[in-house]
Each structure stands twice: as C-alpha cells, then as structure tokens.
Amino acid sequence: MTKAYDMSVALRDAIDGINRHPCLEVQSVEERDSGEVHVVVKACIPLPSRCQAGISGTGVKSEELVRMVFRKGYPDEGPEFYLRSDFPTDLPHIYPHKNGDPVPPCIFQGSVNDLLHTEGLAAVLDQLVSWLERAASGLLMNLQQGWEPVRRRFQNVAIEFDPVELVKSLPNDGSLLRYSARFWTVGEQTHLRIDSSPTQPDVFTQERLTLREGKSGTQGTTQVLILSAPSQQGERPIFEKYQAEVAYDLPSLNATLEALGCPKDTLNSQLASFCTQSNLAVQTSKAQWPWDGDFFVGVILAARRPVSLIGTERDIELIPYVVRVKKRTTAPNIEGAEVLPALNLQPVGPSLLTRTSGIPETATERKLVFLGCGSLGSKVSLHLARSGFGKQTIIDHETLLPHNLARHAAVDLQFAYKAYQQLAMLGSLGHTKASALTTDILPLLRDKALGSEVLNTDPCLVIDTTASPQVESALVISPTLEHESPRLVRAMMFNKGQLALVLLEGTGRTPRCDDLLAQIFEACRHDAELRHAMGGDSIDLHDIVIGENCRSVTMQMPDSRVSQCAADVAQLLEGWVSGGIPSEGKISYGIRHADGLTTTWRQVSEDAVEVLHSSGEERWTVRISSSTSKLIREDSAQHQTVETGGALVGHVDLLNHTIVITGTLEAPADSTRSPTKFNLGTMGLMKKVRDVMSDSLGYLHIAGTWHSHPMGGSHSEVDLQTLKEMAEEVPGMPFVSLVVTPDSVLCTVHSA
C-alpha cells in the first residue's frame, strides 16, 4: 500500500540532486507504510561501443531502473539501492539476496553513510552510476588485480578463522573437514571462532550470558563444516563463474554447493546428524527445544578460482555461512534452518597486526629481547606487539605489585610476574612465538654459558628498559654480549619524563652503551636546554607509599607521560628494524616542552671509539670518543714543532675499570709550549673543572691530561712524575695521561 508522499526537506533536496545528475532521472516517489520512501530512478548508462540493441555483453541495459530506498533515518542513514530482480548476478560487488528479489549492488567499498556525510549525495550517485558503467563493461572485477571474494552486506554474522591456515588443511577428496568452534551471540550479532586445530568436535552446547543494561546473549561450542569439490586427476577443479550470494536457506545453499561442485549430501547429512546428536545429548523431553537460544553451525565452502583472490596469493576462496535453526517450542530440526551469509574475520595474530601497522613482515618477524618489563618496557613491548612484532622474549624477575598498575601496560595481577603478565597480553594478541623468563638478568649478562642462548640466538635487538644501574654495569662488560651479538638498545627516562633517551650501540659494540651515556652528559655541558630537561630542578626519585608499612622509590609521573615516551621509543625501534639498523651508534633524545604537548627529538650519530689499554696500571681501559680522538690529533698536527696538550674530560667507572673520555678542556692561556715540553697552565682551570662537573650534572669530571710528542716517543719520566702528582690530588680516582705521537696515542693510568 503506497501513498503520495509529502517530502521532507532532506528528501526534497535528495530528489532535486538526483534530477540534477546528468545520468539520472526520478521516475516516481512512493512512501511506504513503514515510513520508507522509495524513489525509482532511471539511470542512462553508456555501454561499451560494440554493444548492440541497448544491452551490454554482461546484460546491463543502457537504461536501468534503480529503486533508491530512503529509510526514516535519512540523512543519518544513507539510501539503499536495488536493481531489477532479473539483473545479472554473475557479477562481483553485489550483496547477498534471494534469487528473484531485487538485486542490491554494493556501490561503494566503504560506508555509503560516511560518503554521504563527507562528499554529499552527488558522490553517492556518482558511485551508483560508476558501478552500473563498470557492470556494463565487465570491469567490476579486474582479474589482473585478482578475484573479488563474494560480497557480504552485514557485519553481524561472522566466523573467525585464518584462511591461509584453513586452506592448508583442506582435503583433496571432497570429504568434510570438521572443526570445533566457540560462539557467542548478543542481540543480532553471531560470532563463531574456529579452534586453532581441527579436533573431533563435541556436540552443540549453549549457556546464557547475562550482560548489563538488561542485555543478554548466549555462548557455547559448535562445529564449523568445511567442504570443497573433490580433485580431478590430482587437480582441484577451477570455478570461473562468478555468482553473487543468493543462499538464504538449505535448498538455496544446496544450489550453491552444486555450482561449486561440493558433495551436498555429505553436508546435509552431517548437519542433520550434528543437530540430532546435540539434541540427544541434552534433551529432557523429545518434544522440547533443549537450549537457551538458537542452534548454530558454521559452514565454509571452498572453491578454487582462476586467479588469486585480490590482495592474496591464494586462489582458493572460502565462502562462510552460519546455518541457524531459530529457537522454538518444539524439538530442533535442521530442515527449516536459515542460512546466513557470514563474514570471515581473521583472528588477531602477527599477520593481521602486521597488515594493520603497515610494517613489512620481514621486519615484524625479527626477534627482540626485552631486558626488564617495567612501565616503559611493557609499553614499548606492547606497542611493538600490536605492530606485529611477536617474536619477543621478555626477561624480568620481578612480580607485579598493585602500585605497578599505575603505569605498567598490565591491567591486572593475574600472572604474578611482570614477564608472565606481558606474555599473556602478547598471547591474547595471537603471538604464540613470544616467550618470558623470570630469571634475574644479571647472571645472564655475566655468565656467557647461561645467557648466550637467550641473548645471542637470532634477536636483532636487545632492548634494556630496566633503568637499573646494576644492569647498566653488567651490560658494559658482559661476556654474553659478544661483538657479533645483536645490537643493544637502552631506553630510559629522566626527570619525571622531561627527557627520554634511547641509546643504540654501534656494530661490534663500539661505541658501547657506556660511551653513549657519557656522551649525552658531554652534550649537556654545551646545551643548557638538554641539561635542564635531564636534570630539572628537583630530584627524580620519590618515596611513594604503596602500603601501610611500605614505600617504593620511584619516579613520580603520570602514566600518560610514560606512554608518550614509550610510543616514541617504539616508533624509533620499528623504524630501525624495518628500515635497517644504522651501523654507527645513535643517541636519540626527546625533550618535553613546557606546553606539555610537544616533545622534540634529536638524534646524534657516534662513530666507533678508540680503545686504549693502560701501560701503567694495567687493569684500566680508556675509551676515547671519536670526536676527542680526532680533536687531539688535529691539535697536535697544528703544533708541528712544539708539544701541545690540554685536560681530558670523562667518566670513570670504578667497578668496571673503564674510563670514558668524552671531550677536552682547552689548555689555559698561561700554558707553555716548547719543542721538548708542554706545561699545562692553571689560569681559570679550576673554574672550568667545576663547570665540567656542574654542566654535566655531576657525571663528568677531569679525568686526565693529554700532550703531544711531535718527535714521537712514549711517556717521559717527567710525564709520569706529573701524572703521579696529579693523581694524588684526587685520591682513589684514576688519572689518565695520553701522549699523542705522529703515529699513535699512548696511554697510561695512575691512581693514588
């Protein structure tokens, strides 16, 4: 029953818009009792030039009538389109429908509603006309790009499975493959998830789910039945004919089975048997419906196509359905089942995550080892896991305490250990190749036999996020981290997150993490902004009460700041792993600005350091930054005929007996240079010495002196005496003396 329609403003505009379109003309407007308005539109379609009698080779006419259905919600909800019921359905981009019903074209890959609201009705109409044009010319599918999978309209029925894995297990003989599956239903949503390996499935089970707001659903177990045409002479038959989805009940599904060469009796008898067996397993009375809700079974038909499916390297299309018997008062019977065309949803896992992040699979397949899984480490790890990096090893021996949840990626304490909690989160993202160790990191670093398998097998990066001084110290001299071992990254935050720092060691562990850390403090000497961001005005660590009789010493800052830093660090790592890890060392630091929004990142490259062993106290190793090494050589070369020199700035690691030289102090003005002697003056030197300490936030100090021997030769007796006297000025601390000759740099260390 229709009646003349009093058009609302939006609809009147729409009808005007249709009439303005150069290819469209409104033929009639009808309002239905439901409140829908049906606008019948004549579309004039240019056909390919050799077509005759006004009809294309694909069966599209040069004038097609299109029924546009505007529901009550228009324009919140865009119009739907229907073509004549005898419109050809052997074309892609047609939604499921019953044979003989008007044919619904899928005119736009995205949401028509979004298109309407962003580009306007004109763009929606253009899509319609373009769809009809391509249908006329047979260009809806370009076999060069691949086979278009049969279309689904609604997202409310889905089966979750990995098509690549499923195809691998597909039988050749046309026999039925059965998987057990879990399902849940809420409102109109029905979601089945195939269990990861084919098992002998049980019967259908179902229990009621009570949700909030009075909503309820069901969950349980069922089967998914997979069927394909039997191979002929060892080859799977190819099905070239495209067919839009028209299955809606068992007879129409059987027609599809026939078209795809699948043995329909096999399927029908299994459906009937599964329904009966499931009923027998739980029934209390033969005449009654035994479950809380509808009965479901998943069905997937597999068909080999002439070319690979679009965007894949697989020529087998998997067409999923859910066969549903609606709940009723009488006993279940498969005969009257509905067939719901279903979406295939890929389970979450490395390939889905990698595709979503856009990072190449060759990168996300690389192994990463995380030392420490605290607030920063857990978040960096989770970011990378969500980008597809699943081969992660998480090493952390600490357990999660309630206060950790303030900033850790974990949201509960279920798995006690931080590493296990992280592993569980990675597992829920489908990363089955992740692993966790709850052993102490230090023995792994100090004992090569213990740590080598974990730290040296395959990983491309070992990422330390512990911010632990012990780990830092162990990393420096770790025998486990050999020269050819994976590259070490250290990520840390300073001053309540005002500075984020990432250090990447160079190849062959030069520059090493201690060289790089000393270098950032050297940079602080010359950059007040960096110094301020790193040091701030207050101490970093606070006592935080975490229980009545217990406190934690930690850095006070909100979770959002850790997350911001973690996101930046994760992006840096993703870039390195996918774009190639630079061979040299890198210092990357992000300074957070006062606006609370901006973080400015800078990156400095550091070349290999010069490593010298003391000819005096032999336990000391001196590591000279490449810039310092270059500078003292150039200065020596400039003073060809006389000795020259200056003071050395560096950091002393008393535990590891390592002195890292990061820079120099120019010789004071009262220094004297002669062909046989360099006298380091004292004018203004003490102020400079104090400045080194304060500008490097206490990390660097005067670590020794250097001078040149233009004629060659090692330390003279005078040199050694001077060194001894200077060392006595700082008892307990080693003092370095370098002699730069035209050929080499010689080193001796003395401590008083």
Partner 1 sequence: MPATITFFPVDCGDMTLVRLANRDETSILVDINIRCAADDPNDSTRDVAKDLRALLKYDYRNRPYVDAFVLTHPDQDHIRGLQSHFYLGDLKDYPDDNKAKSDKRIVIREMWSSPMVYRRADSTHVLCDDAKAFNKEAKRRVAVNKAMNFSGVQDGDRILVLGEDENGKTDALGPILVKVDSTISRINGVNQSSYCTARLLAPFSKQEKAEDEALLSKNNSSVILNVQLASDSLNPDGCRLLLGGDAEVGIWDLLWKKHGSNQNVLEYDVLLAPHHCSWHSLSSDSWSDLREKAQVNKNARSALAVARQGAWIVASSSAIKDDANDPPCIRAKREYESILSTRQGTFKCVGEYPSEKSPEPLTLNVAKDGVQIASNSAASSSWGALAGTGATPRPHGQA
Minimum distance from residue 372 beta carbon to partner 1 (Å): 29
* C-alpha torsion angle, residues 131, 137, 141, 146 (rounded to 10): -150
SS3 of 153-216: CCCCEEEECCHHHHHHCCCCCCCCEEEEEEEEEECCEEEEEECCCCCCCCCCEEEEEECCCCCE
Q: 399 and 355 in contact (C-beta within 8 Å)?
A: no
- Annotate 311-321 with b (16+ C-beta within 10 A) or e (fewer): eeebbbbbbbb
Minimum distance from residue 47 beta carbon to partner 1 (Å): 7
Task: Indicate the SS3 state at residue 547.
Answer: strand
Residue among 381, 141, 152, 109 at smallest CA distance from 244: 152
Establish if 137 lies at the interface with partner 1 (CB under 8 A): yes
Rg over alpha carbons for the chain, rounded to the nearest Å, is: 37
Alpha helices (runs of H) in 484-558, residue ranges in sequence order: 513-526, 528-535
Round to whole Å and give the CA distance between 411 and 406: 9
Task: Indicate the SS3 state at residue 732.
Answer: coil
Q: 230 and 263 in contact (C-beta within 8 Å)?
A: yes
Establish if 171 lies at the interface with partner 1 (CB under 8 A): no
N residues, the chain? 752
Judged by CB under 8 A, which stretch of 138-146, 246-254, 436-444, 556-564 contacts partner 1? Answer: 138-146
Nearer to partner 1, 350 or 506 (CB): 350
Round to whole Å and give the CA distance between 140 and 290: 46
Residue among 158, 140, 160, 157 at smallest CA distance from 149: 140
Chain mean position to CA 186: 29
Judged by CB under 8 A, which stretch of 33-41, 124-132, 259-267, 682-690 contacts partner 1? Answer: 124-132
Q: What residues numbered 57-116 form the site for partner 1, per CB under 8 A?
A: 57
Minimum distance from residue 534 beta carbon to partner 1 (Å): 35
Nearer to partner 1, 52 or 210 (CB): 52
Nearer to partner 1, 10 or 122 (CB): 122
# residues near partner 1 by CB under 8 A: 34
Establish if 123 lies at the interface with partner 1 (CB under 8 A): yes
Nearer to partner 1, 103 or 129 (CB): 129
Given candidates 2, 27, 99, 118, which one binds partner 1 under the rule CB under 8 A?
118
The angle formed by the CA atoms of residues 253, 99 and 91, to the nearest 5 degrees, is 90
Task: Indicate the SS3 state at residue 750.
Answer: strand
Round to whole Å and give the CA distance between 626 and 605: 11
Identity of the amino acid at 426: L
Judged by CB under 8 A, which stretch of 30-38, 43-51, 520-528, 571-579 contacts partner 1? Answer: 43-51
Given candidates 12, 55, 86, 139, which one binds partner 1 under the rule CB under 8 A?
139
β-pairing, 599-606 with 541-547?
Answer: unpaired
Given candidates 15, 91, 131, 133, which one binds partner 1 under the rule CB under 8 A?
133
Round to whole Å and give the CA distance between 676 and 709: 8
Minimum distance from residue 51 beta carbon to partner 1 (Å): 6
Establish if 46 lies at the interface with partner 1 (CB under 8 A): yes
Judged by CB under 8 A, which stretch of 50-58, 390-398, 458-466, 720-728 contacts partner 1? Answer: 50-58
Nearer to partner 1, 65 or 546 (CB): 65
Nearer to partner 1, 138 or 536 (CB): 138
Minimum distance from residue 563 beta carbon to partner 1 (Å): 17
Q: What are phi and psi of 545, to 5 degrees?
A: -70, 120
Given candidates 7, 8, 13, 23, which one binds partner 1 under the rule CB under 8 A?
23
Q: How far is CA 602 from CA 73, 520, 588, in A?
A: 52, 12, 6
Given candidates 89, 113, 142, 714, which one binds partner 1 under the rule CB under 8 A?
142
Given candidates 144, 197, 285, 641, which one binds partner 1 under the rule CB under 8 A?
144
Judged by CB under 8 A, which stretch of 139-147, 357-365, 480-488, 600-608 contacts partner 1? Answer: 139-147
Establish if 21 lies at the interface with partner 1 (CB under 8 A): yes
Q: What residues numbered 414-473 form the site for partner 1, per CB under 8 A?
A: none
Q: How far is CA 113 from CA 75, 110, 119, 130, 254, in A?
A: 8, 9, 10, 18, 34
Given candidates 7, 40, 51, 186, which one binds partner 1 under the rule CB under 8 A?
51
Nearer to partner 1, 136 or 481 (CB): 136
Judged by CB under 8 A, which stretch of 92-100, 118-126, 157-165, 216-224 contacts partner 1? Answer: 118-126
Q: 691 and 700 in contact (C-beta within 8 Å)?
A: no
Given candidates 39, 91, 106, 136, which one binds partner 1 under the rule CB under 8 A?
136
Judged by CB under 8 A, which stretch of 44-52, 85-93, 245-253, 545-553 contacts partner 1? Answer: 44-52
Q: What are phi and psi of 56, to 5 degrees?
A: -80, 165
Round to whole Å and give the CA distance between 106 and 153: 8
Minimum distance from residue 182 beta carbon to partner 1 (Å): 22
Q: 752 and 724 in contact (C-beta within 8 Å)?
A: yes
Given candidates 11, 39, 83, 125, which one binds partner 1 under the rule CB under 8 A?
125
Nearer to partner 1, 120 or 508 (CB): 120
Tokens, residue 272: 């009937």
Nearer to partner 1, 75 or 508 (CB): 75
Q: How far is CA 449 from CA 79, 346, 436, 475, in A?
A: 69, 41, 19, 16
Given candidates 122, 416, 545, 550, which one binds partner 1 under the rule CB under 8 A?
122
Minimum distance from residue 537 beta carbon to partner 1 (Å): 37
Nearer to partner 1, 48 or 174 (CB): 48
Establish if 143 lies at the interface with partner 1 (CB under 8 A): yes
Nearer to partner 1, 105 or 298 (CB): 105
Given candidates 119, 691, 728, 729, which one binds partner 1 under the rule CB under 8 A?
119
Q: What residues numbered 329-388 form the site for partner 1, per CB under 8 A?
A: none
Residue 661 burial class via C-beta count within 10 angstroms: exposed 0-12, middle 13-18, buried 19 and up: buried
Nearer to partner 1, 118 or 288 (CB): 118
Minimum distance from residue 225 beta carbon to partner 1 (Å): 31
Establish if 56 lies at the interface with partner 1 (CB under 8 A): yes
Minimum distance from residue 120 beta carbon to partner 1 (Å): 7
- The 288-307 contact track toward partner 1, x by CB under 8 A, reads --------------------
Given candidates 3, 4, 52, 358, which one binds partner 1 under the rule CB under 8 A?
52
Tokens, residue 412: 């509960």
Q: Which residues make up the interface to partner 1 (CB under 8 A)?
A: 17, 20-23, 44-52, 56-57, 118-120, 122-123, 125-126, 129-130, 133, 136-139, 142-145
